[in-house]
Structure 1
Amino acid sequence: MSVIVTDFTQTFLSQMLNITANALKNPAKEAIVAGEESYNYQALIDASRAFAHQLLETSDDLKETRVAFMVSPSFDYVRVQWGIWLAGGVAAPLCITYPLPSLQYVIEDTQAEIVVVGPEYAALLKDWVLEKGLRFIVLSEEKEANGSPAGLPTLEKSRRAMILYTSGTTSLPKGVVTTHANLEAQISTLIKSWKWSENDHIVCVLPLHHVHGIINVVSCALWSGATVQFLPSFSAEALFELFLAGKVNLFMAVPTIYFKLISYWEGLPAERQQEITEALSKFRLMVSGSAALPVTVMEKWKTISTHTLLERYGMTEIGMGISNPYDGERKAGYIGKPLAGVKVRLVDDEGNEVKGRAAGEIQIKGNNVFLEYWRRPEATQKAFTEDGWFKTGDVAVKEKGYYRILGRDSIDIIKSGGYKISALEIEEVLRTHPAIKDCSVIGIPNEEWGELVVAAIITDGVAVDLKELNTWIREKMPAYKTPRQYKIVDDFPRNAMGKVTKNDLKPLFL
């Protein structure tokens, strides 16, 4: 039974995992900058509370009702997410670039009862959501809640808090469920390890339906009482202008973004290059993650910024687990050492812990590890060992205390532009095209994207316009998952069991 607490400060401290502790100490402090607008912590607290009451209507607790929301990175995004948590709901952020079928999948899979959208996304979802009988809230059309309870529910930290979707080795994305306790562990560990403080100012250029942007950037900043700034869209020019303004002292991105920034910087006049280098040299920390960082990119960025990027290792199921040190040597090509409170081991194919410099699968244990795959008990069980270690599927070696990723244990997982993509999911969509008889999707090395998604297809002589094929598939799934190159082949290389040997396809694209 939920207990209604009338003291707002106590409610926020208990409900938000202390995320607003510094906010309550200094409510006038700038919390969020978006476009030309600036919002202090008091405004964020008030807006989050108001939205929680709107969600609750006349009830006292959402009791883990899933709330899907499609809101651009902004003040509104944060107040909606915090409002969901304050009301006792489970937040399910939707990707703002997804086509309708992908959005429908997430909403249906989470069994969301409420869908919240920014006004720019209302037309895309309204008819379908109302047809399904779900509650639909458009932020520009909000009304004052009637009969709101005096307080907000007090939640146990063991309650579910968020569902994020990731592609695994199956053809459809799985919902990764994290509890309030999981989020607290993930956020507090990074704040301590990377020395966040209320004096920090970070710009967010990462999507907010993934752990990197939600936890590492926005949540860590706001827990610390720092300032987070949102850009409407990625622009190398706009980003460098912001850096030159002198307020930002922290930056986190995927290797693809650093690659784009390097390319833009190299095209600037020498005088402008030097101005940018001087501005970047004053930063406190720069981090790269979500995909392997090419050593060439790390070296070029150090020349430009004077900073050695801090590379770390994480995934949706664990938040962050391994990181190069804030103080100490950051080794190029290595993901670093286990974070405080996170246990890491490497095991062989038989599940035995490897010794010395032998390669093994990374397995993780700690309070940061997710609760379950939503409504997939068998997949959850398979993801853990009998003694509770999460099986990441990534293979690494340990050398002088530092972990180095060698690759993935499944060729069907592609890391491109910071995303972890299921080749099987793409193949299932391609096979629905009338001209395609069969297909095989793989990832090939690419300096800018980490890996490039490519596809070999069999048409049995049927003519297919590859430009039209590209347009067709982008209507079926998110653009970042779609192949960048296609090769028409007569057949695939296969093993004795008839399984396609994907590594033998890679030379076609290299």
Structure 2
Amino acid sequence: MIQLIERAKGFTERVALVSNGTSYTYGQLLDSAQHVAAHLLNGKADLEEARITFLVPPSFEYTAIQWGIWMAGGIAVPLCVLHPLPSIEYVLRDTQAKMVIAHPDYMDFLSPLEKENGVSIVALTPVLENRSAELPDIRTEQRAMILYTSGTTSKPKGVVTTHANIQAQITTLVNAWEWQQDDYILNILPLHHVHGIINVMSCALWSGACCEFLPKFEAESVWNSIKSGRLTLFMAVPTIYYKLIAFWDDASETAQEEMSEAASKLRLMVSGSAALPVPVLEKWRKITGQTLLERYGMTEIGMGLSNSYRGERRPGHIGLPLPGVEMRLVNSDDKTAGENEAGEFQIKGPSVFKEYWQKPEATEKAFTKDGWFITGDIGMLNNGSYKILGRDSVDIIKSGGYKISALEIEDVLRKHPMVRDCAVVGLPDEEWGEVVSACLIPKDEAIDTKKVSEWLKEQLPRYKIPRNYIVRNTLPRNVLGKVTKNELKKMF
């Protein structure tokens, strides 16, 4: 039994989704999902974990397809609407999917794959048409979804979660963030990623709440939604908050007051998927009165740690393990890291994924012998709350015997009056192993990097001062706004 879908039967008259200006009830969602399941089964008793890929923008139709795949016993593999064809082809080949359900806007885009890979491109509209079938019994341990890692450090891997994993990921957040039936959230996040699928859409639908889709981000549209008074929660990535602040900065004083007052009334605003620069948190708090709740998660674990919903939210920190999540911080000697000592986050619990799709060696390497998932993220316990120092492979720079956090240097650089944004990486060096190197995005005029270095010497130890600089207008980012640091390294 899929508990998420079973629960929806108790909310049939309530509005579940608002999509393209139309409201849909839970009853309509259940009916459409059953039609999808019947079409997919097409006379079979059970899809038996067949991988069904779909390229559909965030919408009512997206949700009906996802739920229909689950009801028929399939594995849902959502594709990213912003990815180029080779990235989509990679997922199709990796999952050996035989079918892509496609929104009309993407039929022509996908057509080359039908010829080259023998994949069936199925139009969305007929799949949603009224059709009935007897549906199989779904077990909680069945594979339910494959999401692909962002591939910032290696080729993307397919992360397999079961229905039980997904249920644990949802219930952990519903309890920690006190979701209620009367909640209303705007979903502006891509739906090929755990943030948009689990934290926003599925938590809302588990609770009998309403999720409204905004398929394309526009700062003005988001501010209009906030001003409408219908939102109770809002979740986004740091770059979204940065753009909302920029829009606020450019508005008239009257408009600023209106936006600030409306935002102050939401009960919760969350930032995640990338490190939130402290200046962005502080500016958002100044203009809205809201202290953004930061949390820590991964495709493989859902959410692992979170700042408190009701208690203190400390800037630059990710809080404590969520209920039901076991966590340990392990130092380089494989021992528990002490207070203010760097260590690697390792996670256990029902929300942790089942496997990397058809990669048994990678799956085995991802876990310790006693079953802890090795996140690759480095952090420390600081005054009773955890903070992220960076990803071991890209954010921890090993230079001259020191382990240096790129995120720490970035936080300091952003305080420089002439730096709008920045990213720090380690570049290979024969003498030092790696040298600290920074890409700076100027606020309005040329930056004198020598003066930046002199300024940094008053803020940081000398071994943390960048030895190389480049100045650019933008940073390379993936669709979630994360800086792709391996791409950045190529720019030096």
TM-score band, normalised by shorter chain: 0.7 to 0.9
Please show how residues 13-412 of structure 1 align to structure 2 within 5 Å.
Answer: 14-15=1-2, 17-21=3-7, 23-142=8-127, 149=133, 151-167=134-150, 171-411=154-394
**Sequence identity, in percent?**
52
SS in 1 for 2:368: coil
- Structure 1 residue 155: deviation in Å? 1.5
Consecutive unaligned residues in structure 2, runs of 5 or more: 398-405, 439-465, 472-492
TM-score (norm 2): 0.82
- Structure 1 residue 213: deviation in Å? 0.4
- Structure 1 residue 25: deviation in Å? 2.0
8 A contact 1:337–1:403 mirrored in 2? yes
8 A contact 1:20–1:222 mirrored in 2? no
Looking at structure 2, the residues matched to 121 and 258 of structure 1 have their Cα atoms a distance apart, in angstroms, of 30
Question: For residues 379-402 of structure 1, what are the alpha-carbon distances to aligned partners after superposition, in whole Å with 9 as ceiling and x for unaligned?
Answer: 111111110111111111112331
Identify if the C-alpha distance between structure 1 residues 116 and 241 changes in structure 2 by more than 3 Å, giving closer, same or farther. same
Looking at structure 2, the residues matched to 372 and 127 of structure 1 have their Cα atoms a distance apart, in angstroms, of 31
**Partner of 2:469 in structure 1?**
508
Question: For residues 66-103 of structure 1, what are the alpha-carbon distances to aligned partners after superposition, in whole Å with 9 as ceiling and x for unaligned?
Answer: 01111000001100001111110001110001111010
Question: For residues 97-140 of structure 1, what are the alpha-carbon distances to aligned partners after superposition, in whole Å with 9 as ceiling and x for unaligned?
Answer: 11110100011101112211100011011231254333321113
- Structure 1 residue 453: deviation in Å? 9.2
Matched to 1:399, the amino acid is: N
Matched to 1:85, the amino acid is: W
- Structure 1 residue 34: deviation in Å? 1.4
Matched to 1:405, the amino acid is: I
Matched to 1:305, the amino acid is: T
Matched to 2:430, the amino acid is: N
8 A contact 2:185–2:212 mirrored in 1? yes
8 A contact 1:20–1:225 mirrored in 2? no
Looking at structure 2, the residues matched to 143 and 370 of structure 1 have their Cα atoms a distance apart, in angstroms, of 30
8 A contact 2:153–2:393 mirrored in 1? no
Looking at structure 2, the residues matched to 249 and 258 of structure 1 have their Cα atoms a distance apart, in angstroms, of 17
Question: For residues 247-298 of structure 1, what are the alpha-carbon distances to aligned partners after superposition, in whole Å with 9 as ceiling and x for unaligned?
Answer: 1111000111000000100111111111111111111100001111111111
SS in 1 for 2:369: coil
Consecutive unaligned residues in structure 1, runs of 5 or more: 1-13, 415-441, 456-491
Identify if the C-alpha distance between structure 1 residues 35 and 61 changes in structure 2 by more than 3 Å, giving closer, same or farther. same
Matched to 1:495, the amino acid is: E
Stretch moving more, 245-254 or 162-171: 162-171
SS in 2 for 1:501: strand
Please show how residues 470-489 of structure 1 align to structure 2 within 5 Å.
Answer: none
8 A contact 2:264–2:290 mirrored in 1? yes
Identify if the C-alpha distance between structure 1 residues 300 and 20 changes in structure 2 by more than 3 Å, giving closer, same or farther. farther
Identify if the C-alpha distance between structure 1 residues 348 and 260 changes in structure 2 by more than 3 Å, giving closer, same or farther. same
Identify if the C-alpha distance between structure 1 residues 114 and 504 changes in structure 2 by more than 3 Å, giving closer, same or farther. same
8 A contact 1:57–1:145 mirrored in 2? no
Matched to 1:494, the amino acid is: D
RMSD: 2.5
Matched to 2:76, the amino acid is: A
Looking at structure 2, the residues matched to 241 and 217 of structure 1 have their Cα atoms a distance apart, in angstroms, of 19
Looking at structure 2, the residues matched to 270 and 300 of structure 1 have their Cα atoms a distance apart, in angstroms, of 16
Which residue, out of 430, 440, 443, partners 1:495? 430
Identify if the C-alpha distance between structure 1 residues 331 and 109 changes in structure 2 by more than 3 Å, giving closer, same or farther. same
SS in 1 for 2:429: coil
8 A contact 2:38–2:72 mirrored in 1? yes
SS in 2 for 1:330: coil
TM-score (norm 1): 0.79
Looking at structure 2, the residues matched to 358 and 170 of structure 1 have their Cα atoms a distance apart, in angstroms, of 25
